[in-house]
Amino acid sequence: MERLPSREEALDLLHEYTKSESLRKHAYGVEAVMKAFAEKHGEDSQKFALVGLLHDFDYEMYPNAPDHPLKGSEILRTRNYPEEIVYAIQCHADYVGNERRSLMDKAIFALDELTGFVVACTLVKPSKSVSEIDPKSVRKKLKDKAFARGVIRDDIYKGAEQLGADLDELILLVAGALKPVAEQVGLNP
């Protein structure tokens, strides 16, 4: 069995390559969501969490496709990350063209953009409380193309479809998973 890097090793790698506080917060949020998703589905929560934490670690250094995430994949391989983690991280970028085979591959694709969008929806609330997030308001914001323009809405819909998941349930999962790390990601519980 392959040895999984510890969270501390992954955090060191994230902090080595990612200096932007907002990108670090995104990583912490996606990590929490991936972990919660894995726990809900009886999967290896440590693996899922590592994929969430590191999916964008190379973005500041290699912001252009396909360098991100392929250059990061090379770095992960030199550090002996298991290939299934490297592959899943590649799967979050639709343009890489990887077939999403495992639940982990599908989850990172589905939950990356959705996590960012739920955080954006929370930040515009006066309370900045993730507890106030509900699927109806998130769906309404999804239709507003001027809101959170950087979020690829097609990836959110396609990701839910590939998971065979109800989008409202995914929104609730994301909001619930963000509550314990709310302050770490710049929100209120």
User: What are the structural domains of the chain?
Assistant: 7-181 (1.10.3210)
Alpha carbon distance 48, 33 (integer Å) = 9
Q: For 66-117, what is each residue's pLDDT tens digit?
A: 999 999 999 999 999 999 999 999 999 999 999 999 999 999 999 999 999 9
CA torsion sign, 34 to 28 to 111 to 173? positive
DSSP characters over 163-176? HT--HHHHHHHHHH
| pTM, entire model | 0.97
pLDDT class of 3 with cuts at 50, 70, 90: confident
